[in-house]
């Protein structure tokens, strides 16, 4: 099967797909998920919604789901194309993201993302499907941070610091059932308003950030054989949810599948 832009398959898991586009002809396509384009050689001319964008090595683009896309090549070019489920991007940004081009992949977080995508492509034969999806989830998380700040003025240094520290704090304490924005503010020595303003820049709130981290933690444990004997109720209480039904409702709404169905699917892979 060819990829969305005409290239041969490289690797795919249950949710993500990474392919190498290396044809020398034009393509017009649309897809159900977001597509992250990482040029490796040559130049791609993207025509979308009447707009023209050029991508070359060192730059990247994120194409919105179902958006008609035409790729024109003056000469042979090569690019990696990562297809990402729409909910993985929309859930992090809290709103559907429009097409984004001209992402700088030469330095900072952009370079980290580009290196990770290339590494996943190079290690494709050594990664299991769950490992591949897990790596792509980390790439998507970092990519969304880039997209969130792409069209935004540089943030004041203090707010940027607050956001980074809050995110680390939530990851470290996501299993604490008493974790709230007010508790975080008290633990970190900042006002709740400071934390809210810092997270508002990224399009989220303390409550949404905590819920997102807990749901991702549950998803990781449902896939982990070490937790195969833990009931959904056990997982709910261990990750700060009030009940199994509260967890199941939030999980299905976020990932489109119930915790039990995800565990069943993971067990047969």
DSSP the chain: ---TTSPPEEEE-SS-EEEEE--SS-EEE--SSEEEEEEEES-EEEEETTEEEEE-TTEEEEEPTT--EEEE-SS--EEEEEEE-HHHHHHHHSSPPPPEEEEE-SSHHHHHHHHHHHHHHHTGGG--HHHHHHHHHHHHHHHHHHHHHHTSPPPPHHHHHHHHHHHHHHHHHTT-TT--HHHHHHHHTS-HHHHHHHHHTTT--HHHHHHHHHHHHHHHHHH-GGGTT--HHHHHHHTT-S-HHHHHHHHHHHHSS-HHHHHHHHHT-
- Topology, domain 9-147: Jelly Rolls (2.60.120)
pLDDT score of 95: 64
Going from the first residue of the chain to its last (269 residues), give the mean pLDDT of each consecutive group of 10, the final group possibly shorter.
41 76 50 83 70 77 73 71 88 71 81 92 86 90 81 58 87 91 87 88 89 93 90 94 94 92 79
Q: Where are the domains of the chain?
A: 9-147, 157-267
pLDDT score of 156: 56
pLDDT score of 1: 30
pLDDT score of 189: 80
Distance CA 241, CA 216 (A): 13
pLDDT score of 68: 62
pLDDT score of 110: 87
pLDDT score of 70: 65
Q: Does domain 157-267 have CATH number 3.20.20.20?
A: no
């Amino acid at each position: 099967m060819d990829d969305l832009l005409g290239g041969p398959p490289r690797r795919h898991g249950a949710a993500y797909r990474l392919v190498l586009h290396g044809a020398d002809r034009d393509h017009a396509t649309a897809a159900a998920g977001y597509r992250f384009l990482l040029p490796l050689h040559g130049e791609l001319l993207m025509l979308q919604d009447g707009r023209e964008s050029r991508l070359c090595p060192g730059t990247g683009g994120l194409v919105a789901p179902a958006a008609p896309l035409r790729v024109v090549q003056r000469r042979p070019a090569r690019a990696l194309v990562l297809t990402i489920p729409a909910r993985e991007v929309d859930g992090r940004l809290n709103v559907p993201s429009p097409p984004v081009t001209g992402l700088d992949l030469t330095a900072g977080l952009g370079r980290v993302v580009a290196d990770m995508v290339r590494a996943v492509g190079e290690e494709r034969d050594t990664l299991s499907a769950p490992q591949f999806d897990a790596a792509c989830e980390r790439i998507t998380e970092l990519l969304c941070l880039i997209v969130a700040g792409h069209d935004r003025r540089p943030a004041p240094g203090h707010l940027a610091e607050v956001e980074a520290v809050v995110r680390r704090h939530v990851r470290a304490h996501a299993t604490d059932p008493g974790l709230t924005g007010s508790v975080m503010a008290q633990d970190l020595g900042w006002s709740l308003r400071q934390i809210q303003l810092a997270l508002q820049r990224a399009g989220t709130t303390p409550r949404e950030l905590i819920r997102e981290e807990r749901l991702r933690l549950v998803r990781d444990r449902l896939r982990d054989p070490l937790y195969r004997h833990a009931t959904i109720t056990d997982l709910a209480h261990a990750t700060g949810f009030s009940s199994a039904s509260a967890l199941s409702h939030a999980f299905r709404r976020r990932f489109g599948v119930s915790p039990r169905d995800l565990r069943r699917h993971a067990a047969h892979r």
